[in-house]
Amino acid sequence: MTLQALVTPALSESAPQTLQDNPRALVDEVWQIVNNEFVDRGFNRVDWQEKRQELLSGDYVNSKQAYKAIRQALKELGDPYTRFLAPEDFSVLTSQTSGELSGVGVRLAVDKRTSSLYVVDTVKNSPAMEAGIKSGDRIIRINDKPAALMTIEQAQEEIKGEVGTQISLQLSRKDKGVFQVNLTRAQIEIASVNYSVKQEDNLKVGYIRLDEFSSHAAEQMKEAISDLGKQKVTGYVLDLRGNPGGLLFASVDIARMFLKQGEIVSTIDRRGGDRHFSANGTALTDLPLVILVNEGSASASEILTGALKENARATVVGTTTYGKGTVQSVHSLSDGSGLAVTIARYYPPSGTDINHKGIKPDVYLDLSMEEQLQFKNEPDIMGSNADPQYKRAITVLKTHPSAKFVRPEPKPVGLRWENLRETMKEENPRWQSSPKPETR
C-alpha cells in the first residue's frame, strides 16, 4: 500500500466528550473525511449525502456497532483501500509506516528440528543488543510463560509493550547454559533495508533487500548504498519481492538515489490536480542495477520499479507486480481507531494506468510451486544461488554493457603456494618446482 504522509493528529484530552464517547459522532467523523478527500467525486454512484443521514439515524449501543456500520458504508464505495481500522489494527499500521515499534529489538524464528523459538538477530543499539543477547540464543520463557507453547506471532505480542515497561526473558546458549535477562522496552527502529556484498565469480554485487517503504527506509537505503560503494561493488540487485509498499515520498526519495534525471511518478487527485515528482540530481550511484519483483510487489514498490524501468535505469526480473495505482491518506480518529482514504491515482513516467494490471518485468521468470514452498520454509535462501530469480539477475548484470569485473580477493589460507615457490627459488636456485600440494 502507498500511504501519503498526511496523518491527522489524535484529538487532545480536551476534545469534546461527544467525539470521544459517542459512536454516532465517530461515524460522522469518518463520513466527513471521506466526503472531503475520496478520489471518486461520484462516490461509486452512492448518494453520499443520503448515506450520511442513514448513518446518523442508526442506533449504536457501542463502538462495535458503529465500526460495523462504517465498514459497510465504505464497502459500498467499491475501493478496497479505503478502509476503517480498529484501534489495534491502526496501531500495527502506524508501526509499519513509522518504521518503529515498542519492544526490545529481537527478531525471532522457529527451529524446524525442535520447534523451539530462537533469536535470529538483534537490532543495533536496542535493549536486546545492549543486554548481550546473541543470534542463536534459544528462548525458554517470556515473562515466565513457556515459549515452547507460543507461535512467533504470540511471542512477538508478548514481547511488545509500552515504552519504559519491563520484560524478562529466559534464554539458553550453548557455551553459557540457561540464563535470564531483564529488559526495559524502548522505541525500536525497524530495519526496512538489509544488504550484503556477494562475490559472483568475478562480479562484486551489492545485494539490497527492501521490505517496506517506512519513514526510515530512505535513510537506511542511503546508508546501504554508501556502505556498498565503499566496498567497491560493481553492480546492484535490489530485491522488492513481497514488498507491499508504504510511504509515497519514501519511494520518490529512493528513486532519486538511483536516477540522475527523468520523471519518477505523477499523481492526480479528485480535483484533477496533477503533481509530478522527478529526479533532482542527487543520485548516489550509476552502477548497473537489476530489480527483483513478483506479484507481491505493490504500490510504492511499483512506483520505484516503474520509474527505474521506464527511464532505462534498471532491468526488471521476476513476475508481473501486484497492480495498485492509488494513493491513500491515513487519519487517526478520536477513539484511537484509524481511516485510510484513497485520495489520488498515480502513474509511472509513461502515464500508463497500472491499476489491476501491474508492471511486467523485462525478464519474466516465475518460481515453481516447489521453489515457492522452499522460499516459505527457508527464507534465508533469497538472494543466494539457490534462488533462481536472483541467479537470473546476476546473469543480467554480467551481460550489462557497463559491467565492471573484479577478480575476487584470495581467501587467506596461509602462505600461498606461488609465494612459497618464489621464496624457495630465491633461497635455493637449484630448487625445482613440483606439483602443488593437496589441500585437505
pLDDT at 188: 84
pLDDT tens-digit map of 49-73: 999 999 999 999 999 999 999 999 9
pLDDT at 190: 79
Confidence of residue 171 (pLDDT cuts 50, 70, 90): very high
Coil, helix or strand for 187? strand
Q: What percent of the chain has pLDDT over 70?
A: 87
Confidence of residue 97 (pLDDT cuts 50, 70, 90): confident
Residues with Cβ within 8 Å of 126's Cβ and at least 6 positions away in sequence, in order, are 104, 105, 106, 186, 188
Q: What is the mean pLDDT of residues 371-375?
A: 88
pLDDT at 405: 58
Greatest Cα pair distance, the chain, in angstroms, is: 106
C-alpha cell at 85: 481500522
Interatomic CA distance for residues 180 and 356, integer angstroms = 51
**pTM, 2 dp:** 0.77
Q: What is the mean pLDDT of residues 179-207?
A: 93
Q: What is the mean pLDDT of residues 411-428?
A: 40
Confidence of residue 412 (pLDDT cuts 50, 70, 90): very low
Selected catalytic residue, list 324, 329, 332, 337: 324
Q: Which residues pair with 184 in a beta bridge?
A: 166
Strands (E), 39-176: 83-85, 100-103, 106-110, 117-122, 138-142, 145-146, 166-173
Residue 9 scores a pLDDT above 50: no
Could you say which DSSP state residue 402 is in?
A: T
Long-range Cβ contact pairs of 150-157 (< 8 A, separation 24 or more):
150/117, 152/108, 152/109, 152/110, 152/117, 155/108, 155/117, 156/103, 156/108
Interatomic CA distance for residues 431 and 63, integer angstroms = 91
Q: What is the mean pLDDT of residues 134-153?
A: 91
Selected catalytic residue, list 63, 297, 299, 337: 299
Residues with Cβ within 8 Å of 335's Cβ and at least 6 positions away in sequence, in order, are 20, 26, 63, 87
Coil, helix or strand for 211? coil
Q: Between 379 and 286, where is the model more confident? A: 286
Report CA Rg, the chain: 27
Residues with Cβ within 8 Å of 355's Cβ and at least 6 positions away in sequence, in order, are 323, 324, 325, 326, 345
Report the sign of the C-alpha dihedral through residues 290, 226, 349, 80, in that order.
positive
Interatomic CA distance for residues 239 and 234, integer angstroms = 17
Phi and psi torsions of 299, nearest 5°: 60, -110
Give the angle subtended at the CA of 277 by the CAs of 275 and 281, to the nearest 5°.
150
Closest to 18 in 3D by CA, of 28, 7, 5, 8: 28
Confidence of residue 21 (pLDDT cuts 50, 70, 90): low
Pinpoint the alpha helices (H) of 57-160.
Answer: 63-75, 87-98, 127-130, 152-159
Confidence of residue 430 (pLDDT cuts 50, 70, 90): very low
pLDDT at 6: 35
Confidence of residue 189 (pLDDT cuts 50, 70, 90): confident
pLDDT tens-digit map of 325-357: 999 999 999 999 999 999 999 999 999 999 999
Q: Is 299 one of the catalytic residues?
A: yes
- One DSSP character per residue, 299-328 reads THHHHHHHHHHHTTS-EEEES------EEE
Number of residues written out for the chain? 440
Residue 429 scores a pLDDT above 60: no
pLDDT at 406: 55
pLDDT tens-digit map of 275-319: 999 999 999 999 999 999 999 999 999 999 999 999 999 999 999
Q: What is the mean pLDDT of residues 235-245?
A: 97
Confidence of residue 15 (pLDDT cuts 50, 70, 90): very low
Confidence of residue 194 (pLDDT cuts 50, 70, 90): very high
Q: What is the mean pLDDT of residues 375-387?
A: 88
pLDDT at 18: 42
Interatomic CA distance for residues 237 and 400, integer angstroms = 13
Confidence of residue 403 (pLDDT cuts 50, 70, 90): low
Q: Position 166: which residue type?
A: Q
Interatomic CA distance for residues 390 and 377, integer angstroms = 18
Interatomic CA distance for residues 400 and 421, integer angstroms = 39
Residue ranges of domains in the chain, CATH in brackets: 8-98 (3.30.750.44), 101-189 (2.30.42.10), 193-398 (3.90.226.10)
Closest to 333 in 3D by CA, of 53, 74, 109, 48: 74
Q: Is 134 one of the catalytic residues?
A: no
pLDDT at 418: 41
